[in-house]
Amino acid sequence: PRPTTTVGTPDNGVGVADGRAPVQWNTFQARNLGLYFQDTVSLTDTLKLVAGLRYDDFKASYRNPNGSLSSDRSDSLFSPRAGLIFQPDELSSYYLSYGTSYNTSGDTYQFSPGLSSSTARSANTPAEKSRNIEIGGKFELFERRALLGVAAFYSEKYNERNTDPDTAAQQELLSGKRHAAGMEFNLAGRITPKWEVFFNHTWIPDAEIDQSNVARNSTGTGAQVQGDRPGLTPKHSGSFWSTYAVTSSVRVGAGLTYRSKQNPEGQRSYYASGFSTVDAMVEYAFDEKTSLKLNVSNLFDRVYADALYRGFYTPGAARSVQVTLKTRF
């Protein structure tokens, strides 16, 4: 039996023998060093050149207690980026940009024990690489009270890794290459002194897995294969929020969040339907320092899939009401 203690003698010096063997843990160590440089050069009064370079040095090692399994990885990667900015006047600017990036930290899961040599994640697997090309413009509107941004983009990803759903997460699949192309729209500011608008929309009409080592099964279900649209890539997504000052004391607002249908990542057998939710707000200002605000989220109590996974989804928040009294001292 364990010794008894009292408040006055919390430690009487008696020890307790513990017959349990100490647990030896697998160890993983990772180090990542990143250096970044960027400079902007004015070529003319209206044309600027932006150029940058990032260097990543990544090292990692895995060891198990008995020494039967060990693995090491080292990456030295350069990521260049460049862009041109054209500003013909004070109200507008146009740009063209190109950039690359690597996912070195994501390589840590390659050092997984207990896998056979045919399925083990190789420490020599190349890092994930992405490159992005974007062209767009920004414009000040409504007497410089609002800013509009429009951009078209093309993104590619190489050496992408996805867990094979047929091996109970014991093997990583190299999808090889995927791409996505689309447009982004953003508007923020005041249309009039009393009317505020915030809007963003992403449209991705073209998205495809270009290369993959996953074979289509006989039923046409299962993991995503070459030619499929990547998971978690809806064609349309965005949000809109607007407020209007009815009087000097009363302000009302309403907004919309929406997303079109999409598949989970790495799964083509099912999809989550598109959805939209509505939010509303009423605010009353007693004076310049004190105000009372009523917010209703998901006004119509829509049921929708907020986050998607291969075997399940996380439902979005139900309708909620929040009352806030704010004062400043």
Tens-digit pLDDT string for the chain (329 aa): 555 666 666 666 666 777 777 777 888 888 889 999 999 999 999 999 999 999 999 888 888 887 777 778 788 999 999 999 999 999 999 999 999 998 876 555 555 544 444 444 555 677 889 999 999 999 999 999 999 999 999 999 998 776 555 554 555 566 679 999 999 999 999 999 999 999 999 999 999 999 887 777 777 777 788 899 999 999 999 999 999 999 999 999 999 999 999 999 878 888 999 999 999 999 999 999 999 999 999 999 999 999 998 888 999 999 999 999 999 98
Q: Name the DSSP class of 273.
A: P
Q: Name the DSSP class of 55.
A: E
Whether residue 261 contacts residue 271, with contact meaning beta carbons closer than 8 Å, is answered with yes
Whether residue 327 contacts residue 292, with contact meaning beta carbons closer than 8 Å, is answered with no
16: in domain: no
Give me the CATH number covering residue 230. Answer: 2.40.170.20
41: in domain: yes
Give the model's pLDDT for residue 116: 42
Give the model's pLDDT for residue 121: 52
Amino acid at 150: V
15: in domain: no
Domain that residue 177 falls in: 36-327
Amino acid at 76: S
Whether the pTM exceeds 0.75: the reply is: yes
- Using DSSP, state whether 189 is helix, strand or coil: strand
Ramachandran area for residue 288 (φ above 0: left; ψ -120 to 50: alpha; else beta) = alpha
18: in domain: no
4: in domain: no
The CB-side HSE value for 200 (13 A sphere, CA atoms) comes to 2
50: in domain: yes
Indicate the number of domains in the chain.
Answer: 1
26: in domain: no
**In the chain, what is the greatest distance between 2 CA atoms, to the nearest angstrom?**
85
Which residue has 């509505």 as its token pair?
Answer: 278
Q: List, in sequence order, every residue forming a beta bridge with 309; answer none if it has no partner.
A: none
Reported in sequence order, the residue ranges of the chain that DSSP labels E, i.e. its strands, are: 27-42, 47-63, 70-89, 92-103, 128-141, 146-158, 161-163, 172-174, 177-192, 195-211, 236-245, 250-259, 275-285, 290-297, 305-308, 313-315, 320-327
Amino acid at 263: N
Whether residue 298 contacts residue 278, with contact meaning beta carbons closer than 8 Å, is answered with yes
214: in domain: yes
Give the model's pLDDT for residue 51: 98
CA–CA dist 16, 186 (Å, integer): 66
| DSSP string over 125-178 | PPPEEEEEEEEEEEEEETTTTEEEEEEEEEEEEES-EEE-GGGTT--EEE--EE
- CA 116 → CA 69, 121, 228, 315, distances in Å? 11, 9, 30, 37
Structure tokens at 197: 């608008």
